[in-house]
Amino acid sequence: MNRIFFCFVSLLLFAYNVSAAENEKLPIGVIARFDDHGAGLPFDKAMESGVSVIQLKVPVAANRTEENVKKILDALKKHKVRLVCVVSGFAGESYKTIPTVKETVGLAPEKTRKARFEEFKDVSDFAKRLGAPSIQFHLGAVPHDTASKEYKDVVQITRDACDYVFENGQSLNLETGQETGAALLQFIRDVNRLNLHVNFDPANMILYGCGDPIEALRIVGRFVRSTHCKDARWAKQPGKEWGEEVLFGTGDVNAPLFLETLCSFGYDGPLIIERENRESPEQQYNDVLKTIEYLKQLK
């Protein structure tokens, strides 16, 4: 009898812990990378950092194995970390300059679109095996002329992407930065899919020179489902050259106002720290730890 009672109480506590973790308001997280591809902290470092959620940069195709799925799920369970999304990306993307981003990033470039869409589907299937509820990525530069065939083609591929991930029980989060707030809102309306959302990265608006991030957030705020806590300083010639990425809270984003504006939309989703500095892994990790403390104070 005692054993049955103990099992019952354990089950209740387990259910309470799971739902408490899922219901945590504004959980602090980081981007983690399982292999050496893409931005983010190495997976093991991310697990050690003390965060409660992560976005996982997708491993390259050869590493999307059952064995690695198990490794990732085991580590998440062990460290009580929740996976909120898988971040997609494609071979051949270059973030070297703003023009190369336009030419090479995402599903927008026509030359690589078809092949990349096949890879995108594989990423969504991989994310499903991990139980991730959403896929996030840089769609690429959306053509400005909304009446053009090029624009309509990008709208259509985004619909196709939304429909595919929907079948896997996922939403699609567009990372901001390459469009103004108004252009992004128009694009979301034109795609017209309920599972299309926004991962708002305020630093990208500054880095790409696409307008004041707070103003943009006010325009697309109701579509935001996750955010990158990243900061930057404006370039001398915004839109022509990169701004400079800096520690969150020390740049031109105005971090307190950013979070206040986000919360004015009733946002209680993840606050994902993104620190791209990979020249010095130690500094990157220390900056993430500093930002965790900073966000705890702001919360």
Q: What is the 3-state secondary structure (H, E, C) of 260-291?
A: HHHHHCCCCCCEEECCCCCCCHHHHHHHHHHH
Q: What's the min distance (Å) between Cβ of 129 and Mg ion?
A: 24
List b or e across 257-275, with b for residues whose CB sees 16 or more CB atoms inside 10 angstroms.
ebbebbeeeebebbbbbbb
With 0-12 CB in 10 A as exposed, 13-18 as middle and 19+ as buried, what is 124? buried
Q: What's the min distance (Å) between Cβ of 203 and Mg ion?
A: 7
Q: What's the min distance (Å) between Cβ of 155 and Mg ion?
A: 23
Q: For tokens 């020249």, name the residue.
A: 279
**Binding to Mg ion, residues 260-299 (CB under 5 A):** 274
Q: Where are the alpha helices (DSSP H) in 192-241?
A: 202-207, 213-220
Q: Which is nearer to Mg ion, 93 or 201 (by Cβ)? A: 201
**Binding to Mg ion, residues 31-70 (CB under 5 A):** none
Q: Which is nearer to Mg ion, 126 or 208 (by Cβ)? A: 208
DSSP H or E stretch at residue 86? strand 82-87
Q: What's the min distance (Å) between Cβ of 230 and Mg ion?
A: 6
**Binding to Mg ion, residues 186-205 (CB under 5 A):** 201
Q: Which is nearer to Mg ion, 68 or 140 (by Cβ)? A: 140
Q: Which is nearer to Mg ion, 191 or 203 (by Cβ)? A: 203
Using CB under 5 A as the criterion, what x/- string covers residues 214-253 for binding Mg ion? --------------x-------------------------
Q: Which is nearer to Mg ion, 122 or 276 (by Cβ)? A: 276
Q: What's the min distance (Å) between Cβ of 228 and Mg ion?
A: 4
**Count of residues touching Mg ion (by CB under 5 A):** 3
Question: Two tokens at 239?
Answer: 């839109």
Q: What's the min distance (Å) between Cβ of 201 and Mg ion?
A: 4
Q: Is 32 left (phi over 0), alpha (psi -120 to 50) or beta?
A: beta
Cβ atoms of 90 and 138 within 8 Å: the answer is no
Closest by alpha carbon to 150, among 117, 185, 102? 102
Q: Which is nearer to Mg ion, 33 or 228 (by Cβ)? A: 228
Q: What's the min distance (Å) between Cβ of 227 and Mg ion?
A: 9
Question: What residues pair up with 197 in beta bridges, in sequence order?
Answer: 173
Q: Which is nearer to Mg ion, 116 or 138 (by Cβ)? A: 138
Which residues are near Mg ion by CB under 5 A? 201, 228, 274
